[in-house]
Chains A and B, each alone.
Chain A
Amino acid sequence: MIGLRRRRGLGRWLAFAAAVAFGLVMLIPFALMVSTAFKPHAYVLEIPPRLIPEAPTLDNFVEAWTSQDFGRYFLNSVIVAVASTTIAVTLGSMLAFAFARYSFPGRRLLFGALLFTMMVPGMVLLIPQFVLARNLGLLNSLAGLIVVYATMNLGLNTFLLRGFFGSMPQEVFEAAAVDGAGVWSSFWLIGVPLARAGIATITLFSFLAAWDEFTWAIISLSDKNLYTLPIAIRSFQRAQATEWGLVFAASLIALAPVLVLFVALQKQFVSGAFVGATKG
């Protein structure tokens, strides 16, 4: 018995060592990114690579933030990401709940169409979406970004959450029905709380996708006051002589909100995340 416990202790430490080693390997690209962001230009590509910069400087961060209207772009990104995430998560949950828990005419067809749309490359939708946005007067507006980003995430959200709702025990819903709960109260009072982990997960995914998107943004926006962060970061890259330090500094700034969101949500989605989705 004692021998077994010791073996387990040893295994735990081995696992710890392996996990740390693997983590370090995973961190290498970040280490380069972070250290480069603190280096002045001339020291960017040096051999051997130096993790701790010789003359660390905050210049890149200062320039990234001040050389353009970075604060405004940051705010625009927050607005667009929060609004589109809210829509994509709310509507995605509603769709997923209906698809998972009820039978109705057209169910197979609608769900099949939803899945098929997920498989078509988004690139081919660009021009028709642009024409639609023009006809609806949504070009050059944050609203135009919000609807497209919400749509972009809706399919995966529905697909993921449908599994969650589908795997919930039928008895819970039956009991509620006896108590007179309708479709909407079953959804809101039982489905949503039980699918918390899944909702946290799709919230993070939707936010991340909206936060990073730049093709649609640059194509549909013409007013610089509406620009989002990825457009600003992209403009730091140029065909000639990219300022790596500047690009990395700008993207580290952009990473912060997603990191905060991850930390805030992480408890939710590790406790039982995907259990539902995977039973699909």
Chain B
Amino acid sequence: MIAAAGGRLAPARPRRRLRRLLPIYGLLLPGLVLYGAWAAWPLLNSFILSFTDWSLTKPLTPVGLANYLRALGDPLFWRALSATLGYTVVTVAGQLVLGLGAALLLNRRIPGRSVLRLVYYLPVITSWVIVSLVFTYLYNGQAGALNWLLVDVLHVLDRPVAWLAEPSTALWAIAVLGIWKGIGWTMVVFLAGLQAVSPELYDAAEVDGAGAWARFRHVTLPELRPTTTFLLVVLTIGGLNAFISIFVMSSAATGTVGGPLNSTDVVLTYLWKQSFAQLDLGYGAALSFLLAAVTGLVSLVELRVAREAAR
């Protein structure tokens, strides 16, 4: 993870050491002050509050690990966590595969490349709230365009499905939005990675008689490994922290955040309900740190696996 450090190690004399370090800390200082005040300090406060029974104006009572233990025994938390992991696996895989596909297509010299790039990128730059509303509208069980397409045009289904109201489909319908919205971003990253692959490698493979698939398998994929690792980690963090789309779509379609039947309750929607509907803020804080721990753990595992695979 840690990039190559360019600086030389400190010389022996403390004054020279200080003179060397001073400008470096100068570079760090403004950012760290901002970050310390507005992220680290609030985080520390919340962390402490996660060990208390905190319901707003009522006096704080320290409860030790009670909030964390309660979460571990809370079936709704486990349910939300497993939905979160499911959502993450599907959206990360979808974005990686389709983003790579899009990048491979646009890496060729085809006409209208820059227009297509913009088209793929449009979802990325549109606000989450708005695209969530658009998809709610697309998925409508009585007048949605998707049902019209599947029932009246393609005849794949014989009657419309209320995609966001079926407990078995709602979360995955929302995941489709997550994928659609992320393809463009993933594509841009892959495009950059592809441009760094040296053309000589392909030429050599072609001379060896490798077909398109073999060239993809043995040149493109291995060369893209660092790119893929980076994407894997960043997309995973994003998936585990999915909130706005689920909040907006579940409440618009079913009137309940996390509905129908809690099937779209992810950790963050559950956390929102605990904190802002129930005013159980100490518990909410504990849930946040549990999610952060899971996120850290998953990222570490992904990095380790990627490193192993690279060997």
Residues of A within 8 A of B (CB): 11-12, 15-16, 18-20, 22-23, 26-30, 32-33, 36, 45-49, 87, 91-92, 94-95, 97-105, 107-108, 110-111, 113-114, 116-121, 123-125, 127-129, 131-132, 147-148, 150-151, 154-155, 158, 162-163, 165-167, 170, 173, 182-184, 187, 197, 201, 204, 208, 211-212, 214, 230, 233-234, 237, 242, 244, 247-248, 251, 254-255, 258-259, 262-263, 266, 269-275, 277-280
Contact = CB atoms under 8 A, between A and B. Distances in A.
B43 interface: yes
A266 B117 contact: yes
B195 A275 contact: yes
A258 to B, nearest CB: 5
Contacts of B23: 182-184
Interface string B1-37: 1111111010000000000010111111011101101
A248 B180 CA distance: 19
Interface string B271-286: 1100100000100110
Contacts of B122: 26-27, 30
Nearest to A149: B38
Contact of A103 (B5, B109, B134, B241): B5
Interface of B: 1-7, 9, 21, 23-28, 30-32, 34-35, 37-43, 45-46, 101-102, 105-106, 108-112, 114, 116-131, 133-135, 137-138, 140, 143, 145, 148, 152-153, 180, 183, 188-189, 191-193, 195-196, 212, 226-227, 229-230, 237, 241, 243, 267-268, 271-272, 275, 281, 284-285, 288-289, 291-292, 295-296, 299
Contact of A255 (B1, B9, B126): B126
A197 to B, nearest CB: 8
Given A94-B30, A116-B296, A262-B118, A280 B7 contact: no
B196 to A, nearest CB: 5
Nearest to A212: B127
Nearest to B29: A94
B125 A262 contact: yes
B230 A277 contact: yes
27 contacts: A12-B108, A16-B111, A26-B119, A26-B120, A33-B130, A33-B134, A91-B30, A108-B2, A117-B35, A118-B237, A119-B295, A119-B299, A121-B292, A124-B285, A124-B288, A132-B38, A148-B38, A154-B39, A183-B27, A212-B129, A233-B130, A251-B126, A258-B125, A270-B192, A275-B195, A278-B226, A278-B230
A170 to B, nearest CB: 6
A244 B41 CA distance: 41
A143 B134 CA distance: 32
B217 to A, nearest CB: 17
Given A26-B122, A280-B226, A155 B35 contact: yes
Contacts of A166: 3-4
A29 B41 contact: no
Q: Pick the 7 closest A-B CB pairs, nearest first.
A: A166-B3, A128-B42, A102-B7, A124-B288, A183-B23, A91-B31, A101-B6
Given A20-B112, A102-B5, A278-B229, 4 more contacts: A155-B35, A273-B188, A274-B227, A279-B226
A97 to B, nearest CB: 6
A160 to B, nearest CB: 9
Q: Is the interface of B mostly helix, strand, loop or mixed?
A: helix
B128 A98 contact: no
Contact of B31 (A94, A131, A247, A254): A94
A109 B105 CA distance: 42
Nearest to A237: B133
Nearest to B248: A237
B275 A48 contact: no
B38 A214 contact: no
Contact of A170 (B6, B26, B268): B6
Identify which of A28, A49, A155, A274 gathers the most chain B CB atoms within 10 Å of its CB: A274
B39 A273 contact: no
B255 to A, nearest CB: 9
Identify which of A165, A211, A263, A275 gathers the most chain B CB atoms within 10 Å of its CB: A275
